[in-house]
C-alpha cells in the first residue's frame, strides 16, 4: 500500500465509521434495551423486544404493506421504464433532447412529489378525479379506503422513480454490442424478434441489477407516506419505515423502534440475497 | 436496415408524436402544481380548471414576505453546499486511492460503503438525535452538514471512481518518470482531468442534500429550518395552505431542475457505470 493511499483513505474511512458505523452499532445495541427518547434510565432487557415483535400484528401489517407498495411500484417502474428506454434509445435528435425532461421527476424532493400527488388525488381540487370524469369514470375518494390509498401511493412512487430505471436501462442498452442485432437483421429477423431473442437476453444482467437496486429503494419508502397519507386510513399504508418513525417519535419507544429497524434491515438484506442468489443460479448475473 | 424512405418518415413521425405525448403526460403533474401556485384560492378550486387565466404572484409574495421563505432557502443553500464541499474534500482523495491503489480489502471497503447506503435514513435518525442533544448540535448548520455527509461522502466516493478509472495510467507513469511525487501527480496531473467529473458529483451531492427532509425535520427547531421542512410545515394538517404549499414547492424544485439538465450526461455515467463495474 502506497503512502498516498493511506493518507487519502484515512479521513474518509474514519468519517464513515463515525457517521455510519457507530450509529448502526448503536441501533443494534438499543434494540436490546428499553430506551425511551427522553428517559434517563435505560436497562438491558435481552431479547424481550424481539419476542414482542413476533407477536406484534401492527409490525407484521407494516411488513405486508411495505411489500405491497414496493412490488406494485416496482412492476410499473420496470415495465414502463423498459418501454421508455427502448423508445428513447432510437437515434433521433429529439430522443436525445427529451431525455433530460424524462429525468425531471426523480430529482424533485420527496416532499414536493408527495404534495403534488396528494393534491392531484384530493377530492376538493380539480385533479385526477376531474380528468377521470372526462372519460366517464367516477374516481373514488382515494385516501378514504386502504386499497385506493395504496394505489395512489404506488402511482406517485412509480412516477417518481421510473426515470431512474430509464437512466440505468439506457446506459445498459448503449453498452450492448451491436453485432448480434446486425447479424439478426441480415438473417431476416423483425424488430419484435430481435427484441425478444437478442436485446432482452443481453440486457438481463442490467435489468436484474436495476430491479434489485430499485427494490431496495422501494422497501425504504417513507417521504411520500409522510406527506400523502400519514400511514392511513388506519394502518393501511403504513410501511416498516413509517412504523419505526411512529414508534420512535410518537410513542418515544426508541429501544423497540431500534428492534424493528434491525429486523427491517435483515428483511431487506435477505430479499436482496435471494434475488442475487437466484440471478447467479440462472446465470443472469456473472 | 433496408427501409424505404417513406417507412422511415412514418416511424420518425410516430416516435416523435409518442414521445411528445409521453413527455406531456409525465410532466403534467409539475405543470398542474405550477398553475395552482399562480392562481387565487378561488380559481384554484374551480372545476373544470381554467388553463388560461391571469397569473397572480400573490402566493409567491406571501411566501417570501409573510412566510419568510428566503431565510429557510438560505439555510438549505448553506448546509447543502457545506455537505458537498466537505464531501468532495474527503471523498475525492479516497476515491482516487480506491481506483488506483492496490491493497487488501479494497473491494470489501467499496462493498461496505455501497451496502451502508442501503440502510434507511430512519435508522440513523434515532442515534443522531440522541447524540446531538448531548452535544448541543440540534438546530445548528454544523449538525446538519455532519449528518448529510453520511450520504454525500459515499456518493462522491462511488461516482468519482468511474472518472478516475477512465484516466489512462500512462499519464501518471509519465509524470512519475519526470520526477513528480505521488502527491504532485495527483494534484497537478490527475485532478485537473477530473474537474468536470467533480463538478457533476458535486452537483449530484448537492441535489441529494437539498432534497433531504427527515434529518432537518428532526434535528432543527427554528434557526436552521431548511426549505424542505418549511414546505412540510405549510402542508401540515393544521395549516394546509395550498398557496404556500405550491409556491414553496415550485421555488424548492426550480434550482434542482436546472442543475439536473446541466449534469444529465454525467448523472447517467457516474451513477451507473460505477455501480455496474463494481
Q: Where are the domains of chain B?
A: 5-44, 59-277
What is the mean pLDDT of the segment spanning A179-198? 85
Are the beta carbons of A160 and A103 closer than 8 angstroms?
no
**Interchain pair A261, B122: CB under 8 A:** yes
Nearest to B267 among A94, A98, A103 (CB): A103
Contacts of B48 in chain A (CB under 8 A): 126, 130
Q: B274: pLDDT confidence band, cut at 50, 70 and 90?
A: very low
Q: What is the ipTM of this complex?
A: 0.85
What burial letters (b/e) apply to B182-218, b meaning 16+ CB within 10 Å?
A: beebbeebbeeebeebbebbbbbbbbbbbbbbbbbbb
Q: A90: pLDDT confidence band, cut at 50, 70 and 90?
A: confident
The predicted-structure confidence for B140-163, as pLDDT tens digits, reads as follows 999 999 999 998 999 899 888 888
The predicted-structure confidence for B172-192, as pLDDT tens digits, reads as follows 888 889 888 888 888 888 888
Q: A285: pLDDT confidence band, cut at 50, 70 and 90?
A: low
Judge whether residue B271 has pLDDT over 60.
no
What is the mean pLDDT of the segment spanning A70-80? 96
> How many angstroms from the chain centroid is the CA of residue A112?
17
Q: Does B266 touch chain A (CB under 8 A)?
A: no
Are the beta carbons of A260 and A243 closer than 8 angstroms?
yes
**Interchain pair B16, A1: CB under 8 A:** no
Judge whether residue B270 has pLDDT over 60.
no
Decide if A95 is inside a domain.
Answer: yes
**Interchain pair B260, A102: CB under 8 A:** no
Q: Rounded to whole angstroms, how far apart are CA atoms B228 and A227? A: 12
**Interchain pair B127, A98: CB under 8 A:** no
Q: Work out the minimum CA distance from B253 to partner chain A, whole angstroms.
A: 6
pLDDT at B92: 95
Q: Which of A42, A92, A115 to mutate to test the interface with B (most CBs of B within 10 A)?
A: A115
Q: Rounded to whole angstroms, how far apart are CA atoms A154 and A68? A: 9
Q: Does B147 touch chain A (CB under 8 A)?
A: yes
Q: Which of B90, B172, B181, B274 to mutate to test the interface with A (most CBs of A within 10 A)?
A: B90
Nearest to A171 among B33, B147, B272 (CB): B272
Nearest to A167 among B1, B122, B272 (CB): B272
Are the beta carbons of B225 and B144 closer than 8 angstroms?
no
**Interchain pair B12, A92: CB under 8 A:** yes
The SS3 assignment for A67 reads: helix
Decide if A172 is inside a domain.
Answer: yes
Decide if A140 is inside a domain.
Answer: yes
Q: Does B136 touch chain A (CB under 8 A)?
A: no
The predicted-structure confidence for A5-42, as pLDDT tens digits, reads as follows 888 999 999 999 999 999 999 999 988 988 888 777 78
Q: Work out the minimum CA distance from B261 to partner chain A, whole angstroms.
A: 6
Q: What is the CATH classification number for the domain harbouring A160? A: 1.10.3720.10
Nearest chain B alpha carbon to A169: B272
End-to-end CA distance of chain A: 29
Which carries the bigger pLDDT value, residue A80 or residue B241? A80
Judge whether residue B278 has pLDDT over 60.
no
Into how many domains does chain A fold? 1
Judge whether residue B168 has pLDDT over 60.
yes
Are the beta carbons of A268 and A219 closer than 8 angstroms?
yes
The predicted-structure confidence for A122-153, as pLDDT tens digits, reads as follows 888 888 888 888 888 888 889 999 999 999 99
Q: Work out the minimum CA distance from B146 to partner chain A, whole angstroms.
A: 8
Q: Which of A100, A111, A204, A232 to mutate to test the interface with B (most CBs of B within 10 A)?
A: A111
- Greatest mean pLDDT range, B52-56, B168-172, B262-266: B168-172
What is the mean pLDDT of the segment spanning B233-240? 76
Q: Rounded to whole angstroms, how far apart are CA atoms B243 and B255? A: 20
**Interchain pair B93, A8: CB under 8 A:** yes
Beta bridge partners of A39: none
Nearest to A23 among B30, B128, B149 (CB): B128
Q: Rounded to whole angstroms, how far apart are CA atoms B85 and B77? A: 12
**Interchain pair B213, A109: CB under 8 A:** yes
Contacts of B228 in chain A (CB under 8 A): 109, 111
Contacts of B249 in chain A (CB under 8 A): 111-112, 115-116
Are the beta carbons of B269 and A167 closer than 8 angstroms?
no
What is the mean pLDDT of the segment spanning A277-284? 74
Q: Rounded to whole angstroms, how far apart are CA atoms B140 and B87? A: 18
Beta bridge partners of A33: A44
Which domain range does residue A70 map to? 56-281
In chain B, positions 241-260, which contact chain A (CB-CB < 8 Å)? 242, 245-246, 249, 252-253, 256-257, 259-260
Are the beta carbons of A116 and B249 closer than 8 angstroms?
yes
Q: B239: pLDDT confidence band, cut at 50, 70 and 90?
A: low
Judge whether residue A246 has pLDDT over 60.
yes
What is the mean pLDDT of the segment spanning B212-221? 92
Nearest chain A alpha carbon to B251: A112
Q: What is the pTM of this model?
A: 0.89
Judge whether residue A286 has pLDDT over 90.
no
Q: Rounded to whole angstroms, how far apart are CA atoms B247 and B243? A: 6
Decide if A23 is inside a domain.
Answer: no
Are the beta carbons of A107 and B260 closer than 8 angstroms?
yes
Judge whether residue A177 has pLDDT over 90.
no
Nearest chain A alpha carbon to B249: A112
Judge whether residue B237 has pLDDT over 70.
no
Judge whether residue B221 has pLDDT over 80.
yes
Beta bridge partners of A44: A33
pLDDT at A209: 82
Decide if A17 is inside a domain.
Answer: no
Decide if A134 is inside a domain.
Answer: yes
Q: A243: pLDDT confidence band, cut at 50, 70 and 90?
A: very high
Q: B2: pLDDT confidence band, cut at 50, 70 and 90?
A: low
Nearest chain B alpha carbon to A182: B1
Percent of chain B with pLDDT over 90: 35
A235: cis peptide before it, omega within 30°?
A: no
Q: B102: pLDDT confidence band, cut at 50, 70 and 90?
A: confident
Superfamily (CATH) of domain B59-277: MetI-like (1.10.3720.10)
Amino acid at each position: 500500500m502506497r503512502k498516498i493511499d493511506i493518507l487519502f483513505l484515512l479521513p474518509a474511512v474514519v468519517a464513515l465509521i463515525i457517521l455510519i458505523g457507530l450509529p448502526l452499532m448503536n441501533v443494534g445495541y438499543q434494540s436490546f434495551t428499553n430506551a425511551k427518547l427522553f428517559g434517563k434510565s435505560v436497562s438491558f432487557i435481552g431479547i424481550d423486544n424481539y419476542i414482542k415483535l413476533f407477536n406484534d400484528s401492527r409490525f407484521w401489517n407494516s411488513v405486508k404493506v411495505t411489500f405491497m407498495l414496493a412490488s406494485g411500484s416496482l412492476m410499473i417502474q420496470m415495465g414502463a421504464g423498459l418501454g421508455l428506454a427502448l423508445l428513447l434509445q432510437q437515434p433521433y435528435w429529439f430522443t436525445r433532447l427529451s431525455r433530460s425532461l424524462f429525468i425531471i421527476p426523480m430529482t424533485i424532493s420527496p416532499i414536493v412529489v408527495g404534495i403534488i400527488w396528494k393534491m392531484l388525488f384530493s377530492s376538493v381540487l380539480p385533479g385526477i378525479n376531474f380528468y377521470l370524469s372526462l372519460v366517464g369514470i367516477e374516481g373514488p375518494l382515494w385516501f378514504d379506503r386502504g386499497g385506493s390509498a395504496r394505489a395512489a401511493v404506488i402511482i406517485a412512487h412509480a412516477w417518481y422513480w421510473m426515470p431512474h430505471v430509464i437512466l440505468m436501462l439506457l446506459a445498459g442498452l448503449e453498452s450492448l454490442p451491436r453485432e448480434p442485432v446486425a447479424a439478426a437483421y441480415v438473417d431476416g429477423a423483425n424488430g419484435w424478434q430481435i427484441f425478444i431473442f437478442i436485446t432482452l437476453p443481453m440486457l438481463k444482467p442490467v435489468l436484474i441489477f436495476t430491479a434489485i437496486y430499485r427494490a431496495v429503494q422501494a422497501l425504504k419508502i417513507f417521504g411520500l407516506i409522510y406527506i400523502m397519507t400519514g400511514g392511513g386510513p388506519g394502518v393501511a399504508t403504513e410501511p416498516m419505515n413509517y412504523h419505526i418513525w411512529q414508534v420512535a417519535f410518537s410513542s418515544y419507544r426508541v429501544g423497540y423502534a431500534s428492534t424493528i429497524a434491525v429486523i427491517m434491515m435483515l428483511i431487506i438484506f435477505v430479499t436482496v440475497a435471494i434475488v442475487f442468489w437466484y440471478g447467479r443460479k440462472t446465470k443472469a448475473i456473472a | 436496415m433496408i427501409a424505404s424512405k417513406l417507412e422511415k418518415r412514418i416511424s420518425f413521425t410516430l416516435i416523435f408524436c409518442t414521445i411528445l405525448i409521453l413527455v406531456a403526460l409525465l410532466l403534467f403533474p409539475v405543470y398542474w402544481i405550477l398553475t395552482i401556485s399562480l392562481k387565487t384560492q378561488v380559481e384554484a378550486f374551480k372545476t373544470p380548471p381554467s388553463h388560461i387565466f391571469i397569473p397572480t404572484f400573490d402566493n409567491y409574495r406571501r411566501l417570501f414576505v409573510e412566510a419568510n421563505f428566503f431565510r429557510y432557502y438560505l439555510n438549505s443553500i448553506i448546509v447543502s453546499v457545506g455537505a458537498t464541499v466537505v464531501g468532495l474534500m474527503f471523498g475525492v482523495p479516497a476515491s482516487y486511492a480506491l481506483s488506483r491503489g492496490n491493497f487488501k480489502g479494497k473491494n470489501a471497503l467499496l462493498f461496505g460503503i455501497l451496502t451502508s447506503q442501503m440502510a434507511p435514513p430512519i435508522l440513523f435518525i434515532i442515534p443522531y438525535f440522541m447524540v446531538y442533544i448531548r452535544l448541543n448540535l440540534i438546530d445548528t448548520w454544523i449538525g446538519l452538514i455532519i449528518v448529510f455527509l453520511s450520504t454525500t461522502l459515499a456518493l462522491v466516493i462511488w461516482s468519482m471512481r468511474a472518472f478516475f478509472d477512465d484516466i489512462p495510467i500512462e499519464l501518471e507513469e509519465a509524470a512519475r518518470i519526470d520526477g513528480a511525487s505521488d502527491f504532485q501527480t495527483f494534484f497537478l496531473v490527475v485532478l485537473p482531468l477530473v474537474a468536470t467529473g467533480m463538478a457533476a458529483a458535486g452537483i449530484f451531492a448537492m441535489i441529494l442534500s437539498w432534497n433531504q427532509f427527515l434529518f432537518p425535520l428532526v434535528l432543527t427547531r427554528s434557526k436552521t429550518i431548511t426549505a424542505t421542512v418549511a414546505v412540510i410545515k405549510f402542508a401540515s394538517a393544521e395549516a394546509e395552505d395550498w398557496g404556500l404549499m405550491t409556491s414553496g414547492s415550485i421555488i424548492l424544485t426550480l434550482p434542482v431542475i436546472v442543475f439536473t439538465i446541466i449534469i444529465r450526461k454525467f448523472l447517467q455515467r457516474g451513477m451507473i457505470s460505477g455501480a455496474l463495474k463494481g
